[in-house]
Amino acid sequence: MFVELRGDRGYFGMLSVDPAHQKKGLSRLLIDDVEARCRTAGCTALDIQVVNLREELPAFYAMLGFVPTGTAPFVSQAAKRDAHFILMSKPLV
């Protein structure tokens, strides 16, 4: 998992849990920790971007309080299908 402070906003990405350990709440624990760290650092929001090809991800992050805020291009030489990022954010106040 990648975490970065961007002024008063936190950002995380590359969250990955081994399939053998999914559905056990590990993602929620990791995100809870990121939220706490970002709050402590003075962040007022936490941002993520998910690729639209992972159709289950927006609903998962919505369950955790994230809302869509826009889109961004997904640029990759290796991509075999057209894709874009869905930008999502959650207030930390």
Amino acid at 2: F
- pLDDT tier at 93 (50, 70, 90 boundaries)? confident
**Is residue 34 very low, low, confident or very high in pLDDT (cuts 50, 70, 90)?**
very high
Domain regions of the chain by residue span: 2-91
How many other C-beta atoms lie within 10 A of the C-beta of residue 12? 20
Mean pLDDT of 24-50: 97
Residue-level pLDDT at 31? 97
What are 45-89's pLDDT values in tens digits?
999 999 999 999 999 999 999 999 999 999 887 878 999 999 999
Query: What architecture does CATH give domain 2-91?
Result: 3-Layer(aba) Sandwich (3.40)
Burial 41-70 (b: 16+ CB within 10 A, else e): eebebbbbbbeeeeeebbeebeeeebeeee
88 DSSP 8-state letter? E
CA-based angle 23:25:30, to the nearest 5? 130
pTM of the model: 0.92
Q: What's the mean pLDDT when you consider all of the chain?
A: 95
